[in-house]
Amino acid sequence: MKRSSDAAGGQETNGQGPAALCRPVEILGLPVHPLTMEGAVAAICRAWQEERVFQVITANVEILAAGLADGEVGRLIREGEMVTADGAGVLLAARLSGFSLPERVAGYDLLLAALKEAERQGVSVFFLGARPEVLQAALARIRELFPHLLLCGSHHGYFREEEEAAIAAEIKLRRPRLLVVALGAPRQDKWIYRHKRELPPCVAMGVGGSLDVLAGKARRAPRWMQRAGLEWLYRLLRQPSRLARVYVIPLFLFKVLGKRLAAGSRA
């Protein structure tokens, strides 16, 4: 099994500035950085020293599948400064591709770790997304968890297209160094990608339903299900409407396996 050297620590190996990461592994041509949680947080901290937008994509199989089906999602994954393996399905897809990723770096866990560092380092944070009442409840919880965090602004996620420019302008004015976007994937990732040029230098991360969890409106799967790689099943059982989204998971994994078998038979 191939393994990227230095991967787990997120060391510089491609010489693209202080926040440059270890080389990604490729799953059906889509990059995923082989990072531990510690390595991902270290990369975020290094990115705070830089004058650019550092887009973080916490990728599950659904997003990778969207990356094959939707050209813009494919581009944003390829151009993303950091792509982490959000779900157990991505670890499996990597194994089927002949790589080993060190561990899951789930969006919710990465968000909490980034907020902890932001509080410690005095980094300002802007939150965009979720229903207005969910956002307020999540912010109240965040203030409890991180009482010294510098909150420089927030906006709920139910805005019209014509309001987008004003929201981006407000973010620019507030100059957050950490921008948390919770519009669901891949919409949140597209939002960051489309506004990359107007945004102030910051770490911009899509966090899916994390604000709902912080607000107590949604729950994460029990630890044993997370460890068994069954978080997707828990979310499906609680929200059966997700069925229309999760069917892509086995299709994607079969595609990965098919490519591996085809490569094996040519060798």
Interface residues toward ligand UDP, by CB under 6 A: 129-131, 134, 157-158, 182-185, 208-209, 211-212
The rounded distance, in Å, linking the Cα atoms of 125 and 106 is 19
Q: Which residue in 254, 106, 91 sits closest to 114, CA to CA?
A: 106
CB of 59 to ligand UDP, least distance (A): 11
CB of 218 to ligand UDP, least distance (A): 7
Which residue has the closest beta carbon to ligand UDP? 157
Nearer to ligand UDP, 3 or 238 (CB): 238
Nearer to ligand UDP, 4 or 60 (CB): 60
Tokens encoding 101 = 């990723």
Nearer to ligand UDP, 27 or 63 (CB): 63
Nearer to ligand UDP, 50 or 72 (CB): 72
CB of 23 to ligand UDP, least distance (A): 27
CB of 76 to ligand UDP, least distance (A): 14
CB of 201 to ligand UDP, least distance (A): 24
Nearer to ligand UDP, 92 or 183 (CB): 183
CB of 158 to ligand UDP, least distance (A): 5
Nearer to ligand UDP, 4 or 231 (CB): 231
